[in-house]
Amino acid sequence: MKRRMLLGALLIAAVVISGCVKAQIRLFTDATVPFAEYTLEGTGDEKILLIPIKGRIADGPSRGFLRDRPGLVENVVAQLRKAEEDPQIKALIIKIDSPGGSVTAIDILYHELQAYRARTQVKIVALFMGLAASGGYYVALPADHIVAHPTSITGSVGVIFLTPRVDGLMTKIGVAVDVNKSGRNKDTGSPFRPRTAEEEALFQDLTDQLAGRFLDLVARHRQPTPAALEEIKTARIFLAPQALELGLVDKIGYASEALEAARQEAGLAADARVVVYRRNEYPDDTVYNSAAHGGAPKPAVVDIGLPAGILDNGTGFHYLWSPAATE
């Protein structure tokens, strides 16, 4: 007990002293700190930028312990804007470890990567880690070259529409909801009653349209054979060797192969610098650093993160592979 009291007193003293001497003591990472460039390897003037895309993709903020933090889309776009100001950036590697997310957030990232490539002529290489499925694959489509880790799971080229159903629970506990509406479709998708046949047809039509957009982009960027496209249309997942056979990826390899592909695509020397944008500096940083994935990391003192599940996905249309979504 005395030891804890002593540690607490020292912490308070440090905070008070910091106000006098203007020392910076951060218990929590400040998301307002701008991105800074850090070199992972290489000594040359020309650069390869690495941007991780990790976790579910959404355009909303990331929930923090004490405050919200910039979300994944905001962080990736901010890094692209910063990279556009640096003429020494000659290649970009997007390191993807994601099951996808909301259709709009994913389409925004796709659009921003396409636009960045068109404006700068910077070559893009996608590196798949453990998971680059559904929307995680969608955002890789602007890449000039795709490298998949030997154990990557990819594919799931399709759309899922998620909406909760609570009408059974409400009946069980004796609760009802009365609705006044201006048209017969105004409460379409309501969780308080079963869907009508008309609603089922409507949601399936919307799902098919969004899936069609996804498949059109795959056909345009990857140009699979008709037989391969039919297999891709099933929205099943594939391991890297199957994805290679179908033309979804260009090579099976590791980060070193992705870096070599970036050098070849951009015509860079072997000593080209590999750089990242971080809000914090990490000692002994490498391309495999998963603690710094563009946003402000979780508090260093307390991590109350919960595992992703169906409630995390929210109601709506998703380019997402999530087994929990259908359980």
Residues with active-site annotation: 134, 186
DSSP per-residue string spanning 25-77:
--SS--TTSPPEEEEEE--SSSEEEEEEEES-B-SSPBP-SSS-B--HHHHHH
Residue 20: phi and psi, rounded to 5, are -85, -40
**Beta partners for 155?**
133, 237
Q: Report how far residue 243's alpha carbon sits from residue 255's, in angstroms, rounded to the nearest whole number.
A: 18
Q: Which of 65, 217, 246 is nearest to 148 (CA)?
A: 246
Cα four-point dihedral sign 292, 297, 300, 304 = negative
Q: How many Å apart are CA 128 and CA 229, to the nearest integer?
A: 20
DSSP label at residue 166? -
What is the strand order of the sheet 316-320 is part of? 100-102, 316-320, 160-162
Residue partners of 28: CB distance under 8 A and separation at least 6? 64, 65, 66, 299, 300, 301
Task: Quote the tokens at residue 137.
Answer: 């694959």
Around 174, how many Cα atoms within 13 Å sit in the side-chain half-sphere?
A: 0
φ and ψ at residue 148, rounded to 5 degrees: -110, 135
Nearest Cα residue to 217 out of 111, 62, 101: 111
